[in-house]
Amino acid sequence: MTIKYAIIIAEQVVKQFAKSRNTRGLFAFFIIFLGFALQIGVQEMLNHQELAEHYSQEVRQRWEANPDKHPHRMAHYGYVAFRQKFPLSFFDFGMDAYTGKSVFLEAHKQNTVNFSEAGHSSSLLRFGQISAAMILQILVPLFLFFLGYDLIAKEREQGILKLLFTQGISWQTLILGKTVGLFLASLFILLPTALFGLVLLLSNAFEMDILLRYGLLILAYTVYFFIISLMAVLVSAQSQTAKSSLMKLIGCWLFLILILPRIAQVTGQNVYPAPSKIEFDKNVEAELIKQGDSHNPDDLHYKAFKDSVMKAYGVDSTHKLPFNYSGLVMKEGEKLSAETYNRHQARLIEIYENQQNVLRLTAFFNPFIAVKNISMALTGTDFYTFNDFQAQAEKFRYQLAQTMNELQIKHISNRVKNSADKKAKLDRQEWVNFPDFKHHFLSIQSALDAEKVSFAALFFWIMLLFFPIRYANQWFKII
Amino acid sequence: MNITRLLFLNFIRAKGFIIALFVLVVASLLSLYIGKTFIEKHQKNIQKTAQAQQETIDRYVKFENKEMGLLLYYLKFGLVNEMPNLAGLSIGQRDINPSTMSVTIRNLEEQKYNTELHNPMYQLLGNMDFGFVLIYFFPLVIIAFCFNSLSEEKESGIWKLLCSQTDKPFLVIVQKIAIRWVIMEILLVVLLCIAQIYLQIPFNISWIIFGLVAFLYVLFWFALCTWIVSFQKNSNQNALLLLISWVLLTIVLPASANAFITNIYPTQEAFETLIESRDGYHKKWDLPKEPTLQKFKAHYPQFADFQHPENKDFSWLWYYAMQQMGDDEAQNAVKQFKNKLAKREELSKNIGYFFPTIHTQLVFNQVAQSDLDNQLKFWEALEQFHEKQKLHFYPKIFGDAPVLQENWQQWKLDFFKSQFQIHWAEKLLPILLMTIIFLILAMFQLRKIIV
């Protein structure tokens, strides 16, 4: 019986929306706007991929085109790694605009990932970016609040509410019915968007992992819309007049979307202060100074190392070693400096994660943050995806430097004076043999692991909002 | 005059009024605190950079003092993009682009684009500076104050009473809105005064422009509200229309404009620059030295007399000539790249003339020197700074001057102060015109009101 009534109420809500020309117009606007945003997103993603692809090939060709030379020169010639965009990034731009796109990889030195879109943008960027995710996360909820604010409050104002209850309809039925009605209406926006997104996705990528992500993504937005619908109806049920209901809902929207995230940001930054570049470099350098200069085989700090190597081989001069000694020293130096850097980098990332966790935890007050984080993780535009790129690039840099050191150790005689020596040249085939950099993406599992809290928060919200329904009779007044 | 007093009292006794103003004041004060923290962080960063530079110079001069060329391979010299305290009110792009750069005299293109370390999540969320509070929150409060200034009277039946007593009822509405406007402007002025004292903002043209544009921005929203109110729709419709205007002006249109700009001016030249400067330098290691040296001497005829020692595999002259080639060969791409960015900035400004939200943000960032234009100027200043260092040290390196004869104590941080011309009309007119247009439209509409 309850269910039947709830269905009737839901149906009425949807019909009521469908009747109004203005409302129909706004639905059409949102669907078109979302389609437009998806189209722009795909275009931008493809443009980026094309550029990244083009310049990666360019870098590879130039790498292979290097003549015969000393391998350490190749280690300094280095490589450039370009960040790819995840095939789902057209849906949600996430922090893509704020993270660098390319990094120069060379021996001895970890460079920053440079050329972020934000660094190339005018102040306009800070107003936000139009993406399907932005519209679904920010604008559609506002629209749903507008549709839903008077669903119950108006009936109370008009005295219809009393009439309904005399007919035996319970609060539970009413709230459920209205919520489902509003939620169904929201699906008229979400489903066409999801479908169009899927078409765009399938024309570019066809992998199980990505499809699974996309499915989860749409599911997350579905849950989000349900929460928003329920919120609107509950506030409407709680408000004396439609006007006060609208005011409260707009206040909620402002607080959750504009204010709370920024306050969480300031808090996070103050609780977990992160070092600036100059401090970071200074800390790394201080440790490296203690380790000595591996470029200089006579460096005092490497004396102990030298003695132990000579002792192990039973020689009295490094020239008599059966391999290139300065290559070995550089290999050791690279190892030590990379370890140091990675340790500091890991600490830095930990600070950033702590900062972000402050924000992530506010998802328990703010479903917007939950869906924002989930959306970024699933579309590969989050912090972890970027970090993973940085880690892959560093790993590649390390391999490059060490491979060149190995070549030097193996093939270069101890008797050559310097890298200009004719005998110090290796065949260019060695460069061709060295594999290209390929940016791989994390699997869906790591995205899910990273956003456990956010998923929990969404779940928590549904539970939380069902409480008022359960105890509606005590909480809400009919008049 | 009596009626003005009555309207005033009526307004400030309303329950929502105090709450809205309270929220606004708290948000503004919080934004000032955020701005102050940002400036302090910048100052601290300058100190740390200066200290690091001093320490590095001392250490290397002590341990690497045999060859000038080798020493300068390591030494870094810092240039600070001076940040006016006004930037605390409008942080702009200053949290993205580093405000201090330390560079060696080796090729600049490999160093110029290095970034600060930052948490991208926080950049994405943006800063809650005073500019943000003014651009986003003030209009909302204005909307809340105005949306029912006419409809409320009608809905409560007072309107008819009013019309029977005066033959110019619209004047009452104008007065009602004017009172709210005066209150909001007073609040703004008070907040700006607090900001000036708290952030120690010098009283100069930038500050006056900032204040005037803020003042006009508030007026603009009142004009827009009056216009919408003048259509005599009911309260709900007014609220809806005004909120849609707000969403369009603060979110949808600026974001669309940005998408448009990035789309028509893509910046692939950035990658080009990177690749060209890298090859420009590194490839020279494996090429004959003479062409490199000749190109270098063509660039710097004043060093034509220095020679690469014959039969030597290496000299610092050759080394720095190679480095120079990195910059020289990327010049074309660099020029195009900077050109693109300037075009992006230019187009943003042009679009801003039609949208007061965009215009206000751009003007704020411009006078606070936190916009892309400032970054471009800083890059240019960095290029000149780098050139100056090179010209100072090149002859000493090539002439193998003794390291210890140089006065190393003189190499403190350099400061760059961006110069820009303020065109009053360009800053004030666009928003003033928009405001006047809406006011005139509203007046016409209001005059029509009889009952």
Residue B161 to residue B129: CA distance in whole angstroms: 46
In this prediction, residue A223 carries a pLDDT of 96
Q: Which residue of B41, B120, B140 is in closest CB contact with A95?
A: B120
Tokens 């809806």 correspond to: B240
pLDDT above 60: residue B450 = no
A463 class by beta-carbon count within 10 Å (0-12 exposed, 13-18 middle, 19+ buried): exposed
Q: Which of A123-137, A356-370, B148-162 shows the lowest mean pLDDT across its residues?
A: B148-162
Phi and psi for A314 in degrees, rounded to 5?
Answer: 60, 40
Instruction: Tell me the nearest-neighbour CA distance from B46 into chain A, angstroms.
Output: 10
pLDDT digits (tens, 9 = 90+) for B36-55: 999 999 999 999 999 999 99
Q: Which residues of chain A lie closer than 8 angstroms to B285, CB-CB?
A: 69, 73, 77, 419
- Count H helices and E strands in chain A, helices first: 20, 3
In this prediction, residue B451 carries a pLDDT of 45
Q: Which residue of B110, B120, B251 is in closest CB contact with A128?
A: B251
**Proportion of chain A in helix, strand, coil states, percent, rounded to 5:** 75, 5, 25
Instruction: Tell me the nearest-neighbour CA distance from B34 into chain A, angstroms.
Output: 8
- Which of A87-91, A160-164, A326-330, B229-233: highest mean pLDDT? A87-91
- Window B:347-366, CB contacts with A under 8 Å: 348, 351, 357-358, 361-362, 365
Is A59–B275 a contact, with Cβ atoms under 8 angstroms apart? yes
pLDDT digits (tens, 9 = 90+) for A269-303: 889 999 999 999 999 988 888 877 766 666 777 78
Q: Which residues of chain A lie closer than 8 angstroms to B125, CB-CB?
A: 261-262, 265, 359
| B312 interface with A at CB cutoff 8 Å | no
Residue B353 to residue B364: CA distance in whole angstroms: 14
| B47 interface with A at CB cutoff 8 Å | no
CB of B116 within 8 A of CB of A276?
Answer: yes
In this prediction, residue B447 carries a pLDDT of 81
CB of B224 within 8 A of CB of B181?
Answer: no
Residue B327 to residue B325: CA distance in whole angstroms: 5
Mean pLDDT of B83-95: 95
In this prediction, residue A296 carries a pLDDT of 67
pLDDT above 70: residue B1 = no
Chain B residue with Cα closest to A120: B341
Phi and psi for A122 in degrees, rounded to 5?
Answer: -75, 175
Distance of CA B67 to the CA centre of its chain: 43
Residue A68 to residue A427: CA distance in whole angstroms: 5
Tokens 């004060």 correspond to: B29
Residue A432 to residue A420: CA distance in whole angstroms: 21
Is A124–B121 a contact, with Cβ atoms under 8 angstroms apart? no
pLDDT digits (tens, 9 = 90+) for A190-208: 999 999 999 999 988 778 9
Q: Which residues of chain B lie closer than 8 angstroms to A424, CB-CB?
A: none
Chain B residue with Cα closest to A248: B16
In this prediction, residue B441 carries a pLDDT of 93
Instruction: Tell me the nearest-neighbour CA distance from B38 into chain A, angstroms.
Output: 11
User: What Cα–Cα distance (Å) separates residue A144 from each residue in A14, A114, A121, A341, B169?
Assistant: 12, 40, 32, 49, 37
In this prediction, residue A295 carries a pLDDT of 64
- Window B:401-430, CB contacts with A under 8 Å: none
- Window A:137-156, CB contacts with B under 8 Å: 138-139, 142, 146
Residue B438 to residue B424: CA distance in whole angstroms: 22
| A404 interface with B at CB cutoff 8 Å | no
Q: What is the DSSP letter of A135?
A: I
Q: Which residues of chain B lie closer than 8 angstroms to A43, CB-CB?
A: 263
| B325 interface with A at CB cutoff 8 Å | no
Chain A residue with Cα closest to B282: A77
Cβ within 8 Å of residue B329, ≥6 positions away: B276, B277, B279, B280
Cβ within 8 Å of residue A184, ≥6 positions away: A10, A13, A14
Distance of CA A6 to the CA centre of its chain: 39
Q: What is the DSSP letter of A70?
A: -
pLDDT digits (tens, 9 = 90+) for A112-155: 999 998 889 988 898 889 999 999 999 999 999 999 998 998 88
Mean pLDDT of B306-317: 89
In this prediction, residue A357 carries a pLDDT of 94
The pLDDT confidence band at residue A418, using thresholds 50, 70 and 90, is confident
The pLDDT confidence band at residue A215, using thresholds 50, 70 and 90, is very high
Q: Which residues of chain A lie closer than 8 angstroms to B258, CB-CB?
A: 121-122, 124-125, 127, 129-130
Mean pLDDT of B290-304: 93
Alpha helices in A272-324 (DSSP H): 277-291, 303-313
Q: Which residues of chain B lie closer than 8 angstroms to A258, CB-CB?
A: 136-137
Is A124–B247 a contact, with Cβ atoms under 8 angstroms apart? no
CA dihedral B355, B361, B365, B366 (to 10 degrees): 20
pLDDT above 70: residue B66 = yes
- Window B:59-88, CB contacts with A under 8 Å: 59
- Taking alpha carbons only, the member of B216, B218, B199 closest to residue B208 is B216
| B111 interface with A at CB cutoff 8 Å | no
Q: Which residues of chain A lie closer than 8 angstroms to B102, CB-CB?
A: 278
Q: Which residues of chain A lie closer than 8 angstroms to B369, CB-CB?
A: none
Residues spanned by the domain of A67: 2-475
The pLDDT confidence band at residue B65, using thresholds 50, 70 and 90, is confident
Is A276–B96 a contact, with Cβ atoms under 8 angstroms apart? no
Instruction: Tell me the nearest-neighbour CA distance from B429 into chain A, angstroms.
Output: 20
CB of B351 within 8 A of CB of B255?
Answer: no
| A26 interface with B at CB cutoff 8 Å | no
Cβ within 8 Å of residue A170, ≥6 positions away: A2, A472, A473
In this prediction, residue B247 carries a pLDDT of 93
User: What Cα–Cα distance (Å) separates residue B184 from each residue in A442, B33, B128, B172, B188?
Assistant: 51, 21, 20, 19, 6
| A78 interface with B at CB cutoff 8 Å | yes
Q: Give chain A's mean pLDDT.
A: 90
- Taking alpha carbons only, the member of B382, B411, B407 closest to residue B54 is B411
CB of A103 within 8 A of CB of A68?
Answer: no
More confident position, A415 or B296: B296
In this prediction, residue B97 carries a pLDDT of 92
Q: Which residues of chain A lie closer than 8 angstroms to B340, CB-CB?
A: 120
pLDDT digits (tens, 9 = 90+) for B414-436: 999 988 788 888 999 999 999 99
In this prediction, residue B188 carries a pLDDT of 97
pLDDT digits (tens, 9 = 90+) for B180-226: 999 999 999 999 999 999 999 999 999 999 999 999 999 999 999 99
Mean pLDDT of A371-398: 95
| A129 interface with B at CB cutoff 8 Å | yes
Q: Which two tokens stand for residue B410?
A: 């003189």
Residue B150 to residue B280: CA distance in whole angstroms: 70
Give the 3-state secondary structure of residue B288: coil
- Window A:257-276, CB contacts with B under 8 Å: 258-259, 261-263, 265-266, 268-270, 274-276
The domain total for chain A is 1
In this prediction, residue A479 carries a pLDDT of 65
